[in-house]
Amino acid sequence: MRAVTVGFMLALTAAAALAQSPKDRIEAVRHMRLGRENLRAELYDKAEAEFRSAIKLDSRLELAHYGLGQVYMATKRYADAVAAYTNCREAFHQ
């Protein structure tokens, strides 16, 4: 579990470093964290909105795309989930 947490934090830091500006980076990460919290609470509409806000601020924040994919999987929107995961992969390779 610790390795997963460390990996998550490294990925978050790397993604945040690629944001448009420091302000955008901070806001994108804040929205992504809120999205994760809402996802854990199964508040899917709120989670989707937060992940979308994060992506709008920083489209290279791959964990926001991944979280959006998780929302879509949980709500059985499978085609949207595939698109979100594809965007996650593309953001990772940017």
Mean pLDDT, to the nearest integer, of 12-29?
Answer: 73
| 80 pLDDT more than 70 | yes
What is the predicted pLDDT for the residue at 84? 96
Q: Do the Cβ atoms of 58 and 28 come closer than 8 Å? A: yes
| H-state helical runs in 18-77 | 22-40, 44-57, 62-74
The pTM score is 0.77
What is the predicted pLDDT for the residue at 19? 47
**Domain limits for position 84:** 2-92
What is the predicted pLDDT for the residue at 93? 85
Task: Please name the residues in contact with 53: beta carbons below 8 A apart, sequence gap of 6 or more.
Answer: 27, 28, 31
Q: Which two tokens stand for residue 18?
A: 């690629």
Average pLDDT of every residue of the chain: 87
* CATH number, domain with residue 52: 1.25.40.10
Q: How many domains does the chain have?
A: 1
